[in-house]
C-alpha cells in the first residue's frame, strides 16, 4: 500500500440492528444499587492511553473515522449567520480537496456527524445543509445552566424541532442529582423527550458539576430510563468537562442498560477534546467497553470545535511527513 493511501474505514463494522431507546419505567432499586468504584475507574482510565498504539495508515484510518463522529460546534455569544454558514461548509468538506486527493479517499465522501448551534442559528444551519444528510443539533433547555422555567425549556425544544433541528442537546437540572431526587430528574427528562418528538435527544449531564462518579452513574441510568438517545458529558462551559474516568463510568452504564433492556444508547464526550491523539484514546475506550457497533455516528459523537483542525493537521503529516502550520486548517 502506498504511504499516502489510508486504509479502508470499514464503514459497516457491525451488522447488529439498532434498537433505539424507548425508555422504561423508573426503577429506583436499579438506580440506588448503581455504584462507582472511583479508584478502580481512575486506574483503568489512566492505563487506556498506554495500552494501545495506533500508527501510520491505521492511525490515519481511525482519524478519518473520527471526523465522521464530530458534532462540529459553535456556541459563542458573537455567532453570526456567516460564521455558521462557514462552519456548515467545513462540515460538508472537512478535509481540503488537495489532501483528500493525495490520500486517495475521494470516494469515502467524509462528512462530520452533525452541526451543533444555538436555537437562533438552526434555520441558518438547516438551509446551509439542505443538500446533505448532515443533521442540525440544537442546544436547548436553558443551555448551559438549565435554570430557566420548565415550560420555557419545553417550548424551546419544540421551537427548535419546528424549524428543523433533527437532534436536541438538553441539559438536566443538576440539583436533582445532587439532592438525589431521581424521580424529579426522570420526569424532567421524560418531558423533554416528549417535546423532542421524532428528533433524537442527547442528555447533557454536566458531569463536572455532579460531585461524584456515583452521581454520574446514577444520572446516566435515569436519563436512559427517561428515553435519552444519547448521554453526553458536558456543555463545554463547566470548569471540568469530559474526562476519561467520567467516560468509563458512563460507557459502563450504557452497557448495563443495553444488556438489561436491549436498547442502544449513544455516547457523546464534549468539552476539552481538541487533539487528535485524545480522540484516538476515546475511540479505543469505546471499542474496548462497548464494541465496534458503537463506533458509528448513530451511537458515538464528539462535541468539538477545534478537534477537526488538529485531525486534518495529523493527516497532512501522514501524507507529507511534515507538520503544517495550524492556520492552514481553519474552520472556514
What is the set of active-site residues?
169, 232, 268
Phi-psi region of 109 (alpha: psi -120 to 50; beta: other; left: phi over 0): left
- φ and ψ of 171, to 5 deg: -115, 140
Q: How far is CA 294 from CA 105, 126, 259, in A?
A: 23, 26, 14
User: Which element (helix H / strand E) includes 231?
Assistant: strand 230-232
DSSP-assigned letter for residue 27: -
Q: Which three cell numbers stand for residue 41?
A: 475507574
User: Distance between CA 224 and CA 267 in Å, rounded?
Assistant: 11
DSSP-assigned letter for residue 293: G
Cis omega (within 30 of 0) for bond into 115? no
Sign of the four-CA dihedral 26, 222, 44, 267: positive
Report the chain's terminal Cα–Cα distance, integer Å.
32
**In which residue are the cell numbers 459563542 written?**
76
Sign of the four-CA dihedral 173, 177, 180, 183: positive
User: Distance between CA 157 and CA 182 in Å, rounded?
Assistant: 22
**In which residue are the cell numbers 440492528 written?**
17
- Contact assessment for residue 6 and residue 104, using Cβ atoms and an 8 Å cutoff: yes
Map residue 300 onto helix, strand or coil. strand
- Contact assessment for residue 121 and residue 106, using Cβ atoms and an 8 Å cutoff: no
Q: Which three cell numbers stand for residue 196?
A: 423532542
Amino acid at each position: 500500500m502506498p504511504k499516502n493511501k489510508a486504509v479502508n474505514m470499514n464503514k459497516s463494522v457491525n451488522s447488529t440492528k439498532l434498537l433505539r431507546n424507548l425508555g422504561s419505567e423508573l426503577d429506583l432499586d436499579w438506580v440506588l444499587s448503581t455504584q462507582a468504584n472511583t479508584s478502580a475507574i481512575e486506574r483503568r482510565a489512566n492505563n487506556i492511553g498506554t495500552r494501545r498504539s495506533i500508527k501510520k495508515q491505521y492511525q490515519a484510518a481511525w482519524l478519518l473515522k473520527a471526523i465522521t463522529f464530530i458534532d462540529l460546534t459553535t456556541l459563542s455569544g458573537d455567532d453570526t449567520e456567516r460564521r455558521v454558514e462557514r462552519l456548515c461548509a467545513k462540515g460538508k468538506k472537512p478535509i481540503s480537496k488537495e489532501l483528500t486527493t493525495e490520500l486517495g479517499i475521494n470516494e469515502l465522501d467524509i462528512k462530520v456527524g452533525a452541526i451543533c448551534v444555538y436555537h437562533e442559528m438552526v434555520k441558518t444551519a438547516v438551509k446551509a445543509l439542505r443538500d446533505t444528510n448532515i443533521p442540525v443539533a440544537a442546544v436547548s433547555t436553558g443551555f448551559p445552566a438549565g435554570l430557566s422555567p420548565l415550560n420555557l425549556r419545553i417550548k424551546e425544544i419544540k421551537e427548535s424541532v419546528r424549524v428543523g433541528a433533527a437532534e436536541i442537546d438538553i441539559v438536566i437540572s443538576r440539583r436533582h442529582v445532587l439532592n438525589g431526587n431521581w424521580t424529579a430528574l426522570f420526569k424532567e427528562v421524560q418531558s423533554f423527550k416528549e417535546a423532542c418528538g421524532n428528533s433524537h435527544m442527547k442528555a447533557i449531564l454536566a458531569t463536572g458539576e455532579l460531585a461524584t462518579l456515583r452521581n454520574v452513574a446514577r444520572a446516566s441510568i435515569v436519563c436512559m430510563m427517561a428515553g435519552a438517545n444519547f448521554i453526553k458529558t458536558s456543555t463545554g462551559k463547566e470548569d471540568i468537562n469530559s474526562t476519561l474516568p467520567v467516560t468509563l463510568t458512563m460507557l459502563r452504564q450504557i452497557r448495563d442498560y443495553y444488556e438489561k433492556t436491549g436498547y442502544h444508547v449513544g455516547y457523546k464526550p464534549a468539552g476539552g477534546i481538541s487533539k487528535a491523539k485524545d480522540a484516538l484514546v476515546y475511540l479505543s475506550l469505546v471499542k474496548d467497553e462497548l464494541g465496534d457497533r458503537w463506533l458509528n455516528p448513530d451511537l458515538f459523537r464528539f462535541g468539538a470545535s477545534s478537534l477537526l483542525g488538529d485531525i486534518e493537521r495529523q493527516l497532512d503529516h501522514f501524507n507529507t511527513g511534515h507538520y503544517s502550520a495550524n492556520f492552514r486548517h481553519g474552520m472556514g
